[in-house]
């Protein structure tokens, strides 16, 4: 025999003024035991109200926006005779009885209506327990979402409390918010996924004034991804120093004066390339890469050097091969060729591979120092900014000397601070007296 069951708001811990956020059933609906009838919300928490009987909904007495309290009649259900009824007419089951913890699908240990809101306000486990419970943390953020949306989020592996703002009524998280969240995470790419780093918020700048959007070039996007990956994976240190290149500069000017008009002129960078190569031969750990598992150092017997080149489409790093075996004129011609090709976007992928270390020179533009990012899996990068005449104390008087600032960034997993300083000292020795390159 069918039984008419009245379902009322149970004891939720002396909380008055509960908002009805959603009503999920209507008269005539066939419902299962424990199916959510409505979603209620206090100022501290959101909760699902399950049916204590299976059957057919006869009447629904609440609508979204209503304010209810313990004992308010929610709906009447004509219960199936064979199905169990969890509550008695007139006396609705305590939520703890209505939906036992162990009945909830793993890892949902939440007790939807059992929440004693007043006592446990910050326990997001009630709302989206999947992550919080497993990790044993209590989050301050409370996600409001219907069971269907939570289920949808769980199916996609999304911890709903990671979605900070819902676009539904009263900030409720709706399916589209979950989809949008997944899309954002996917777009953020491999660098961010799993890193635990919160995504940057999306800001509508047009609310502050006129804007224009430009798509990043492919080079910029790829460079950005790579730089972020390196930034997150390598513990980097940058060591700054300056070297007296007065004599080197005099030599460079003299050599250039000998050159025919159509010959490629030498810039200071060529000497820096040679000095860096010599220092790497002296300190082989700088001509090395760490194996992916971080267990072994792979030392290279060849010496190729990447040179960061500024192009209209972004930064590219063509590679000069065997720099230790080539003279400055040959290297100068090669640098002119690859930097031209880079600017015209005509470099082949092979011409950007196999580098052992990179130089990033901003000296043609200016600067006093910067912190270049290692072009991993290389272990170091040398930054160069603008040389300038400075008064240097020679022990008796100040003398004008051309000082070149250098910035060495290295992967601290491979290079110790002292090694970095010694390496820089060697570069300075070679540049300070380039005759040493012959030794």
Q: Give the three-state DSSP class for 375.
A: coil
> Considering beta carbons, is residue 96 or 310 the nearer one to ligand CAO?
310
| Closest distance to ligand CAO from the beta carbon of 213 (Å) | 23
Q: Is 315 in the site for ligand CAO (CB under 6 A)?
A: yes
Interacting positions 331-390 with ligand CAO (CB under 6 A)? 339, 360-364, 372, 384, 386-387
Cβ proximity of 302 and 284 under 8 Å: no
> Considering beta carbons, is residue 120 or 310 the nearer one to ligand CAO?
310
Beta bridge partners of 46: 41
Give me the 233-252 binding string for ligand CAO, x by CB under 6 A, dash otherwise: --------------------
* Residue selected from 12, 269, 320, 376 as contacting ligand CAO according to rule CB under 6 A: 269
Distance CA 191, CA 207 (A): 30
| Closest distance to ligand CAO from the beta carbon of 312 (Å) | 11
> Considering beta carbons, is residue 228 or 360 the nearer one to ligand CAO?
360
Q: Which residues contact 184 (CB under 8 A, 6 or more apart)?
A: 199, 202
Q: Which residues contact 279 (CB under 8 A, 6 or more apart)?
A: 286, 423, 426, 427, 430
Q: What token pair was written down for 55?
A: 């059957």
Distance CA 267, CA 255 (A): 10
* Residue selected from 55, 112, 129, 268 as contacting ligand CAO according to rule CB under 6 A: 268
Interacting positions 85-114 with ligand CAO (CB under 6 A)? none
| Closest distance to ligand CAO from the beta carbon of 404 (Å) | 6
DSSP single-letter state for residue 366: -
| Closest distance to ligand CAO from the beta carbon of 435 (Å) | 21
Which of these, 88, 66, 101, 82, lies nearest to 8 by C-alpha position? 88
Distance CA 117, CA 16 (A): 11
| Closest distance to ligand CAO from the beta carbon of 311 (Å) | 8
DSSP single-letter state for residue 244: E
| Closest distance to ligand CAO from the beta carbon of 265 (Å) | 6
Distance CA 182, CA 22 (A): 25
Instruction: Name the residue with the smallest CB distance to ligand CAO.
Output: 363
Residues that bind ligand CAO (rule: CB under 6 A) add up to a total of: 20
> Considering beta carbons, is residue 95 or 383 the nearer one to ligand CAO?
383
Catalytic residue among 141, 180, 240, 412: 412
Q: What token pair was written down for 95?
A: 């939520």
* Residue selected from 267, 282, 313, 324 as contacting ligand CAO according to rule CB under 6 A: 267
Contacts 24+ apart (CB under 8 A), 414-422: 414/285, 414/288, 414/290, 414/297, 414/379, 415/237, 415/285, 415/286, 415/379, 415/380, 417/237, 417/239, 419/283, 419/285, 420/237, 420/239, 420/380, 421/239, 422/283
Residue 88 Cα to chain centre, angstroms:
53
> Considering beta carbons, is residue 133 or 404 the nearer one to ligand CAO?
404
> Considering beta carbons, is residue 111 or 308 the nearer one to ligand CAO?
308
Stretch that binds ligand CAO, among 309-317, 350-358, 417-425, 429-437 (CB under 6 A): 309-317
> Considering beta carbons, is residue 55 or 363 the nearer one to ligand CAO?
363
* Residue selected from 57, 158, 308, 379 as contacting ligand CAO according to rule CB under 6 A: 308
Which of these, 276, 254, 252, lies nearest to 266 by C-alpha position? 252
* Residue selected from 19, 310, 330, 419 as contacting ligand CAO according to rule CB under 6 A: 310
> Considering beta carbons, is residue 42 or 360 the nearer one to ligand CAO?
360
Distance CA 429, CA 433 (A): 6
| Closest distance to ligand CAO from the beta carbon of 359 (Å) | 7
412 assigned to active site: yes
| Closest distance to ligand CAO from the beta carbon of 394 (Å) | 22
Distance CA 177, CA 199 (A): 15
Active site residues per annotation: 412
Binding site for ligand CAO (CB under 6 A): 265, 267-269, 307-310, 315, 339, 360-364, 372, 384, 386-387, 404
């Amino acid at each position: 025999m069918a039984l008419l069951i009245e379902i009322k708001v149970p004891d939720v811990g002396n909380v008055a003024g509960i908002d009805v956020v959603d009503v999920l059933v209507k008269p005539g609906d066939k419902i299962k035991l424990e199916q959510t009838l409505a979603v209620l919300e206090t100022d501290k928490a959101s909760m699902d109200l399950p049916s204590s009987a299976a059957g057919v909904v006869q009447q629904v007495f609440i609508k979204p926006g209503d304010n209810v309290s313990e004992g308010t009649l929610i709906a009447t259900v004509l219960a199936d005779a064979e199905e169990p009824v969890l509550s008695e007419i007139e006396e609705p089951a305590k939520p703890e009885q209505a939906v036992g913890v162990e009945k909830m699908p793993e890892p949902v240990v939440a007790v939807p209506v059992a929440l004693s809101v007043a006592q446990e306000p910050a326990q997001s486990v009630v709302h989206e327990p999947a992550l919080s419970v497993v990790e044993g943390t209590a989050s301050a953020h409370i996600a409001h979402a219907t069971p269907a949306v939570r289920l949808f989020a769980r199916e996609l592996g999304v911890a709903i409390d990671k979605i900070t703002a819902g676009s539904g009524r009263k900030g409720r998280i709706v399916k589209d918010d979950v989809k949008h969240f997944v899309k954002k995470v996917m777009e953020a790419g491999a660098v961010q996924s799993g890193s635990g780093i919160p995504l940057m918020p999306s800001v509508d700048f047009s609310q502050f004034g006129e804007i224009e959007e430009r798509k990043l070039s492919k080079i910029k996007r790829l460079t950005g991804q790579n730089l972020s990956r390196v930034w997150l994976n390598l513990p980097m240190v940058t060591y700054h120093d300056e070297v007296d290149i007065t004599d080197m500069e005099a030599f460079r000017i003299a050599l250039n004066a000998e050159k025919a008009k159509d010959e490629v002129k030498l810039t200071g960078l060529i000497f820096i390339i040679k000095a860096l190569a010599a220092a790497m031969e002296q300190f082989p750990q700088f001509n090395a890469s760490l194996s992916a598992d971080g267990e072994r150092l792979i030392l290279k017997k060849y010496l190729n050097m990447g040179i960061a080149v500024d192009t209209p489409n972004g930064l590219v790093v063509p590679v000069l091969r065997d720099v230790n075996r080539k003279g400055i004129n040959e290297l100068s011609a090669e640098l002119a060729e690859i930097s031209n090709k880079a600017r015209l976007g005509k470099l082949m992928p092979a011409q950007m591979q196999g580098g052992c270390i990179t130089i990033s020179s901003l000296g043609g533009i200016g600067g006093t120092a910067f912190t270049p990012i290692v072009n991993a899996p290389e272990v170091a990068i040398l930054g160069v900014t603008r040389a300038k005449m400075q008064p240097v104390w020679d022990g008796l008087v100040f003398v004008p000397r051309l000082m070149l600032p250098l910035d060495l960034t290295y992967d601290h997993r491979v290079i110790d601070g002292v090694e970095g300083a010694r390496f820089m000292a060697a570069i300075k020795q070679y540049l300070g007296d380039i005759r040493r390159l012959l030794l």
